[in-house]
Amino acid sequence: ELDYMVYNFTENKEEVAYTFLMTNHSAYSRLTVAPSGILQQFTWISKEQDRNLFWISPNGQCDVYRLCGPYGYCDIVTSLCNCIRGFKPRNLKAWELRDGVSGCVRNTPLSCKGGDKFLHLKNMKLPDTTSVIVDRRIGVEECKRRCLSNCNCTAVANADIRNDGFGCLMWIGELLDI
């Protein structure tokens, strides 16, 4: 952890965001967008009188936003798009040509009559939070119960995974950028 940066997690009606603030005003940081569209953060190294590439995004093929479309995810080992278990490619021909942007569709529609269950996914990036509902007062079990009672809810996650953390994230609609 860097002593000259303070990191902050913001969650309210308008946004869920992760930000940082430079606390040491003699430490300099610069964000640039390269002609290729890559966002880069540089920090100034006084001793060397040079900039250091501190952070970059996207960082690899799988970091490209919405690369694999709805309900699709990118395998960081192969850089290939895959569908979540229970889903299939929406456009098989494009998928076979390694174009996964059209994403995946359910093999079986949600019933919304009490028979739906959650698939536990590990080692996955959380989906885009544009359509997420955040409730920091409830645990993950209550979160699941509420999600199952809403036919538009497609996924849940614990809002804070530190020390058996608390809080609920509920995704409404398609899961994007997994």
pLDDT tens digits for 143-159?
999 999 999 999 999 88
> What is the per-residue pLDDT for 128?
92
The verdict on 39 and 68 lying in the same domain is no
Alpha-helical regions (H) of 97-163:
140-148
pLDDT, residue 173, reads 94
How far apart are the C-alpha atoms of 11 and 35, rounded to whole Å? Answer: 32
Residues 118 and 175 in one domain: yes
Ranges of the chain with pLDDT below 70: 1-4, 161-165
Task: Tell me: do 100 and 117 sit in the same domain.
Answer: no
Total number of domains in the chain? 3
For 134, the domain range is 113-178
Q: Is the dihedral of CA 21, 67, 74, 135 positive or negative?
A: positive
| Amino acid 3: pLDDT | 67
**Do residues 65 and 120 share a domain?**
no
- Are residues 132 and 170 in contact, defined by beta-carbon separation less than 8 angstroms? yes
Q: Which residues contact 114 (CB under 8 A, 6 or more apart)?
A: 148
177 and 121 in a common domain: yes
Same domain, 118 and 178: yes
What's the pLDDT at 171? 96
| Claim to verify: residue 66 and residue 78 sit in the same structural domain | yes
Task: Give the pLDDT of residue 164.
Answer: 66
The answer to whether the peptide bond before residue 58 is cis (omega within 30 degrees of 0) is yes
3-state secondary structure of 54: strand
Q: What is the pLDDT of residue 165?
A: 67
